[in-house]
């Protein structure tokens, strides 16, 4: 039995005795089959909360317990669909909307949960470098070297804090990006139209939609007035679909586009208007399910792989060196403890403690620079990956072209031709019968949506309709009224309408692909076929038209009369040709992947300089039949893949990754999301792209322009160059410390530097200079990262040369200092010499090829400031009390500075000879 709070349950007798029983019984009889909202003034929820009276079971509204996919409602009439959702055409009451919002949640796509800040902090300690330093700290505590342990622990905490801060900033920025613009929709609430945040839409809401509106959720159409929807973001088909509110039969395996009385979140209304009954929201929509399916881990960023490889290599070198030195000490019969201290210093010297911080700074700067060039990077590692891209699989429409269709040519059945002359004011030039041209223009206007010519600001209006109306507008011809329509059918690839022309003729018009129209006309002469081929090979998108007297839309093949065809053109972007030329020069393979006709795609590609012959074009279905090895070989020469599908893109990624290539893939639709997710660099469109595509991508193009991709790659290569400069500098100074300590051990000399002093060099001196070096402007063109490695073999050669020269000078200075009295003075002189050599090395590393004397000394202001800071800190360390005690150093006379500074410049001279030899080798 049911009851309300505070009242007894009641049976048949008590129900009949209730004062409102007769009134509710009459309401129930009046509309027993209609919507439950019409059975009374209040919803069941309102009545349940009314504590002043009891509610009979028969008059209570059942609770909507689940979201219902639109395909389950497709076969039902409108009233039955409304009843299923417990609503009516006036919309839900606000209180019921709030109740359902609590029950079903907000209309948002599924979002990954953020990582807790503590977990982010602990992850900073998972690097092999950090493990080594933790081990050194433990051993230092065991040996009671407390100052070393304190300094190393401080370094670890500092690095972890900076890394956590950067991660938090990145997460905050990505969250703000994902929220984006808040869209509103027109909702009916108890018959009143009001603006609603689309995130607050619930199942059962009734939404008013018109041309240019984005559909906010999946639903069942309640009304459709000449309604056409662009579902390309979901299905990949570029042609809009007509919608109906009538019930339809649905096959069990029907795809979303086949259900003509359903609307889907993320698609756009391009013509007409309608009322949509919301049935599913958020992750229950078609878009939401695709977004939720992207659970597979993204491929590891190339930068992460390279850093991990480098860390493992350093770990192996350090372990081997430490074991050999320890065995050498044992074999010599000397004391073990001093050598353990030396080995700890050796380990600390090799580890580039500042590398994680400086990589973050370099990548963050790249993100900032790219954002100013209309490229939004969604994760830091993608910046470096962009610099290493080998293959770009790019869309055609909107990326290589302007995404603006224009009517360029019309060829009528009688041979009359109309050419549209380019210019600031396009003008038609007719060759033949002008009256026939005007009549054909009226046919175009009858087929096109009249609303396409009213508001050119609505980007969701079908671009084909815009183009078809260009000729009627130039000839001042008004659009005739469409009386009936057979919507575009993906299988027939045609659309039919009926209208009355200005000559009072009642005719039916058939429009669609040339092949289908020519078949409907029973075949035409070869001249028409040749004209079609000429248009297609010229890069025009061809649409053909046929007519028949009367109002019958369904006619057998041969019953239609051929009227003519038009060629539409989406002009290439002017800047795309230069961008493609840059890619060819820098050995980046660009392949067009499009759903267009192969001849149209080839014409555009040829105009942009991508192709040399027709043999470089292949159909997607032909490509899918190739074995992996055959496809891999074919990709070396292919430039255009036409009639491609999302499955084609996934296959291309799978095969290309086997070769070790770094892959960039563009896309804008929901169905492109898996490919964007799987690529090394997924690139989504900012203007035309869907939220799901942008969420799956690494890079979002604000202007949908291929040239912006190239700008991002150039910036990525600039970042690669700066990473190589910084890593070269860090490992050159670390190897110098390694040479210094190893030579001291080889000659049985005391420890030249303590672990705390080495950390001072690596964190304080290097820490400021390497970050400033990361701000260096690009020199000598765009550097491509070496495949599989963080830095090139040439850079390793330079590191060895610089490290050896600095280490030899360092051991020489140390040997000289051994003749002085006291460890403090010996440490001070050696530490100063190593510090000054690092300063000189930073300036020499501004370019790996250009002489330091040819670079503008004021070209890197941050480096000037950083040099001043480290000079000041070194002075404070030598002449300040607490810091001097911690580092075990003391003041030095001015005379010592005067001979150390020029002596420390010798490695720069060595580097200059290396650069000169490299330049001559390159020229040869």
Active-site residues, by number, are 395
3-state secondary structure of 393: strand
DSSP H or E stretch at residue 707: helix 706-746
228 strand-pairing partners: 242, 271
Cα three-residue angle 586-588-592, rounded to 5 degrees: 140
- For 659-705, where are the alpha helices, taking DSSP H only? 673-678, 691-696
Region of residue 159 (phi > 0: left; psi between -120 and 50: alpha; otherwise: beta): alpha
Question: What gap in Å lies between CA 884 and CA 596, rounded to an integer?
Answer: 72
Question: What gap in Å lies between CA 557 and CA 548, rounded to an integer?
Answer: 12
Please report how many Cα atoms fall inside a 13 Å half-sphere around the Cα of residue 813, on the Cβ side.
33
As given in the structure block, the two tokens for residue 910 are 């060595």
> Dihedrals φ, ψ of 499, to 5°?
-160, 175
Residues 6+ apart with CB under 8 A from 549: 505, 506, 507, 508
3-state secondary structure of 235: helix
DSSP 804-839: HHHHHHHHHHHHHHTTSSSHHHHHHHHHHHHHHHHH
Q: Are 540 and 408 in contact (CB under 8 A)?
A: yes
Write the burial class of residue 342 (CB in 10 Å: 0-12 exposed, 13-18 middle, 19+ buried).
Answer: buried
Residues 6+ apart with CB under 8 A from 853: 912
Q: DSSP class of residue 251? A: -
489 strand-pairing partners: 494
DSSP 579-597: HHHHHHHTT-EEEEE-SS-
Nearest to 597 by CA among 397, 393, 372: 397
Q: Are 731 and 804 in contact (CB under 8 A)?
A: no
Residues 6+ apart with CB under 8 A from 93: 37, 43, 46, 189, 190
Nearest to 564 by CA among 410, 678, 449: 410
> Dihedrals φ, ψ of 801, to 5°?
-65, -45
Region of residue 327 (phi > 0: left; psi between -120 and 50: alpha; otherwise: beta): alpha
Question: What gap in Å lies between CA 924 and CA 415, rounded to an integer?
Answer: 63
């Amino acid at each position: 039995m049911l009851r309300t709070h505070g009242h007894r349950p009641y049976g048949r007798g008590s129900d009949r005795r209730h004062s409102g029983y007769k009134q509710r019984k009459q309401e129930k009889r009046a509309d027993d089959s209609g919507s439950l909202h019409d059975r009374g003034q209040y919803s069941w929820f309102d009545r349940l909360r009314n504590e002043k009276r009891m509610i009979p079971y028969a008059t209570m509204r059942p609770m909507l317990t689940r979201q219902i996919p639109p395909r389950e409602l497709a076969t039902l009439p409108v009233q039955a669909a409304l009843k299923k959702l417990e609503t009516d055409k006036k919309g839900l009451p606000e209180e019921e909307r709030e109740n359902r919002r609590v029950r079903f949640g907000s209309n948002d796509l599924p979002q990954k949960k953020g990582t807790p800040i503590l977990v982010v902090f602990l992850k900073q300690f998972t690097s092999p470098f950090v493990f080594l330093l933790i081990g050194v700290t433990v051993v230092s505590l065991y040996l009671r070297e407390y100052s070393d342990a304190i300094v190393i622990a401080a370094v670890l905490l500092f690095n972890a804090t900076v890394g956590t801060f950067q991660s938090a900033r990145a997460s905050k920025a990505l969250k703000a990006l994902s929220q984006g613009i808040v869209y509103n929709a027109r909702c009916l609430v108890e018959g009143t139209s009001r603006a609603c945040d689309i995130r607050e839409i619930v199942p059962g809401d009734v939404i008013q939609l018109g041309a240019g509106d984005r559909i906010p959720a999946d639903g069942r159409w309640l009304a459709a007035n000449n309604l056409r929807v662009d579902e390309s973001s979901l299905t990949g088909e570029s042609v809009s679909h007509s919608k109906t509110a009538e019930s339809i039969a649905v096959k069990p395996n029907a795809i979303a586009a086949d259900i003509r009385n359903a609307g889907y979140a993320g698609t756009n209304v391009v013509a007409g208007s309608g009322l949509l009954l919301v049935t599913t929201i958020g992750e229950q929509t078609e878009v939401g399910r695709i977004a939720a399916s992207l659970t597979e881990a993204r491929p590891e960023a190339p930068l992460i792989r390279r850093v991990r490889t480098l860390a493992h290599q350093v770990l192996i070198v350090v372990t081997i060196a430490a074991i050999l030195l320890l065995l050498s000490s044992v074999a010599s019969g000397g004391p073990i403890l001093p050598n353990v201290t030396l080995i700890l210093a050796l380990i600390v010297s090799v580890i580039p403690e500042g590398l994680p911080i400086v990589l973050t700074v370099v990548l963050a700067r790249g993100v900032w620079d790219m954002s100013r060039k209309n490229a939004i990077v969604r994760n830091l590692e993608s910046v470096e990956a962009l610099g290493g891209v080998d293959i770009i699989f790019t869309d055609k429409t909107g990326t290589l072209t302007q995404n603006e269709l224009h009517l360029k040519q019309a060829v009528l059945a009688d041979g009359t031709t109309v050419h549209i002359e380019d210019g600031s004011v396009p003008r038609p030039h007719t060759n033949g019968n002008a009256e026939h041209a005007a009549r054909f223009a009226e046919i175009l206007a009858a087929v096109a949506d009249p609303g396409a010519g009213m508001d050119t600001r609505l980007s969701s209006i079908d671009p084909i309709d815009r183009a078809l109306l260009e000729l009627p507008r130039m000839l001042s011809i008004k659009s005739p009224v469409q009386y009936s329509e057979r919507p575009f059918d993906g299988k027939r690839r045609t659309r039919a309408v009926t209208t009355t022309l200005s000559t009072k003729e009642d005719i039916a018009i058939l429009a669609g692909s040339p092949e289908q129209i020519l078949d409907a006309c029973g075949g035409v002469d070869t001249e028409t076929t040749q004209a079609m081929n000429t248009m297609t090979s010229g890069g025009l998108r061809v649409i053909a038209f046929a007519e028949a007297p009367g109002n019958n839309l369904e006619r057998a093949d041969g019953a239609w009369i051929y009227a003519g065809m038009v060629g539409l053109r989406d002009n290439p972007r002017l800047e795309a040709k230069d961008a493609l030329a840059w890619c060819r020069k820098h050995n980046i393979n660009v392949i067009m992947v499009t759903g267009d006709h192969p001849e149209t795609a080839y014409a555009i590609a040829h105009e942009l300089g991508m192709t040399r012959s027709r043999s470089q074009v292949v159909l997607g279905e032909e490509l899918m039949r190739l074995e992996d090895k055959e496809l891999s070989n074919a990709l070396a020469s292919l430039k255009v893949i036409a009639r491609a599908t999302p499955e084609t893109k996934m296959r291309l990624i799978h095969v290309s990754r086997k070769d070790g290539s770094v892959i960039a893939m563009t896309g804008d639709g929901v169905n492109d999301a898996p490919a964007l997710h799987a690529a090394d660099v997924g690139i989504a469109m900012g203007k035309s792209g869907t939220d799901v595509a942008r969420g799956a991508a690494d890079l979002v193009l604000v202007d949908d322009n291929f040239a912006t991709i190239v700008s991002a790659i150039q910036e990525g290569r600039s970042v690669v160059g700066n990473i190589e400069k910084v890593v070269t500098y860090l490992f050159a100074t670390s190897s110098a410390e390694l040479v210094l300590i190893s030579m001291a051990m080889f000659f049985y000399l005391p420890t030249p530097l303590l672990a705390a002093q080495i950390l001072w060099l690596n964190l304080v001196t290097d820490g400021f200079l390497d970050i400033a070096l990361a701000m260096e402007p690009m020199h000598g063109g765009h550097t491509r990262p070496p495949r599989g490695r963080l830095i090139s073999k040439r850079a390793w050669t330079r590191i060895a040369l610089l490290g050896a020269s600095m280490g030899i000078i360092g051991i020489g200075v140390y040997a000289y200092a051994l003749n002085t009295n006291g460890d403090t003075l010996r440490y001070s002189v050696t530490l100063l010499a190593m510090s000054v050599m690092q300063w000189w090395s930073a300036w020499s590393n501004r370019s790996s090829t250009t002489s330091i004397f040819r670079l503008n000394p004021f070209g890197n202001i941050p480096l000037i400031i950083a040099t001043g800071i480290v000079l000041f800190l070194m002075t404070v360390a030598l002449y300040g009390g607490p810091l001097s005690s911690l580092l075990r150093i003391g003041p030095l006379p001015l005379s010592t500075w005067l001979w150390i500074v020029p002596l420390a410049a010798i490695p720069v001279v060595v580097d200059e000879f290396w650069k000169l030899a490299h330049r001559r080798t390159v020229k040869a």
